[in-house]
Amino acid sequence: MTAAIVTFNFSHADETRHFSVLSPDVAEEPRPVVFVLACRHTPEEQESGSWLERQRANAEKYRVHIIGLSTVIRQLSPPASGTECWDWARDGVINEEHPQPCEPTDSKDIGYMRIILDYVADHPSTYDTSQLYAYGFSKDATFTAYLAYCFPSAFAGLFQMGSGLMVKGLAPYSSHSIGQECTQSGYWDHGYPDCATLAPCADCQYLPIIPCWSPLRPMVHCMAAFDDDSLSVSQDHMYALARAEGHDVRLLHFEPSAEASGHSLPPNDFDWIVGCLGVAPDCSTQCADSFSVCIEDLLTSTPSFAGSAAFAACSSPDTMGELAGCEARCAPTLDMLERSTSLHSLNLSLGSFGRERNLVQERPTDSICVAFDDELTVHSSSSMAASTAAGVALGVTAAAALVLLLLAAIARRGRYALCCWAGFRSALKVHEPPRAATA
């Protein structure tokens, strides 16, 4: 048996949207969910080819659900060129006055994500809503941060691979300099670089979002890129800002090699996601030792093997299940992962990696904004329980928790909390459930 894929089609914002669900063939209990952003993928591309085969193997290896997200591709007309996919919030104008534009009117993709999260919450026997994670590479990585920080009570963590935060006046520059020199519509109207002179964005500061401090819990936020990737500096920007907001940020820069370098994925990228975020229970120290012996034995017996190939062989569930001290599907530790790709540098804002979590902390003095989650009531009890463990008193009802959160946000940053109250009210809207595509 292999992981089955089901595609759901539905109408949203006058467009036909879809998402695809890959589920492991054995799922006796609710399993974690990894949302994989791939904005340019059509349903047909998600249902066949290399993307499907990779994600199917990942779903089976760690027995997680993988939900593929994409959007409608916009073909740009001259003087702009190429295509755009994700809808950057507030036309790409993110600043300290508008740090987290997360209302449906800010981006059509907020409503799209909300519908999918509601679908997940409506199936608590299938999906573990306390373990929802988001992942993307390059432009998808940038948008991953936007979605995760707009729904902080839903997402337990995110992984940005190959991109981070774009900052006005600092390299690197986003695609067409949207959010730095130009608005999204400015680029559509004038193209780049003309948009920077004909319609400059005076109020742009950041793209895609400011990772505001959350009274719920620190976000587990992993980032990785090769050290020679020109976009790796954007992850340094995100690390500095997310750390200042009190989040659990884990920044990895890989050592370039003959096998992989530049703006590309590392070998065994999904293992890095599972290991860094702690999607599965961490492998034990004894397991890590047994795993190292397995690697050395393979490299000795098969000199042509690269380290990443030996890692893939030794980390297969069948092999792991036979190694001393190993669970077949445990999350690889940092030492184990480095047998696949060496690290050039490592920064851990709270000293954590893997399953280790940090509870809610006092708002840092350098924090510039407070997150307000307008989705707190639409998720299942397991998600609320996770938030409770992070600092909300047991027995408090969802409504009371929302009132307390709103009052706390008003006390710290009243203008922002009040501006988002309309967004909270809109979250109570009931959506028509998406329907599975028919053959």
Spatial CB neighbours of 310, under 8 Å, sequence gap ≥ 6: 294, 295, 298, 299, 302, 339
Spatial CB neighbours of 141, under 8 Å, sequence gap ≥ 6: 37, 135, 159, 160, 161, 162, 163, 164
Q: Are residues 36 and 124 in the same domain?
A: yes
Least confident of 64-78, 83-97, 398-412: 398-412
CATH code of residue 18:
3.40.50.1820
Most confident of 263-277, 292-306, 351-365: 263-277
Q: Are residues 201 and 224 in the same domain?
A: yes
Torsion of CA 221, 384, 420, 146, to 10 degrees: 20
Chain position carrying tokens 């408090």 = 396
Helices in 89-209 by DSSP H: which ranges?
A: 108-121, 139-150, 184-190, 194-198
Residue 383 has a pLDDT of 34
pLDDT band at 432 (very low <50, low <70, confident <90, very high): very low
Least confident of 172-176, 237-241, 359-363: 172-176
**Mean local confidence (pLDDT), 35-40:** 90
The answer to whether position 57 is within a domain reads yes
Least confident of 28-42, 88-102, 198-212, 364-378: 364-378
Q: Are residues 154 and 50 in the same domain?
A: yes
305 or 337, higher pLDDT = 337
Q: Are residues 171 and 312 in the same domain?
A: no
Are the C-beta atoms of 188 and 200 separated by less than 8 Å? no
Q: Which residues are bridge partners to 110 per DSSP?
A: none
427 or 283, higher pLDDT = 283
Pairing label, strands 157-161, 220-226? parallel
pLDDT at 33 over 80: yes
Handedness of CA 257, 258, 262, 264 (dihedral sign): negative
Instruction: Report the candidate in 241, 231, 79, 214 with the shortest Cα–Cα distance to residue 151.
Output: 214
Q: Are residues 153 and 189 in the same domain?
A: yes
pLDDT at 283 over 70: yes
Count: domains in the chain: 2
Residue 412 has a pLDDT of 36
The answer to whether position 335 is within a domain reads no
**Mean local confidence (pLDDT), 10-14:** 93
Q: Are residues 100 and 208 in the same domain?
A: yes
Q: Are residues 296 and 362 in the same domain?
A: no
Pairing label, strands 248-254, 343-348? antiparallel
Give the Cα separation of 292 and 336 in Å (integer).
Answer: 7
**Mean local confidence (pLDDT), 239-248:** 97
Q: Which domain holds residue 320?
A: 283-330
Are the C-beta atoms of 120 and 142 separated by less than 8 Å? no
pLDDT at 413 over 50: no
Phi and psi at 127, nearest 5°, equal -110, 130
pLDDT at 381 over 50: no
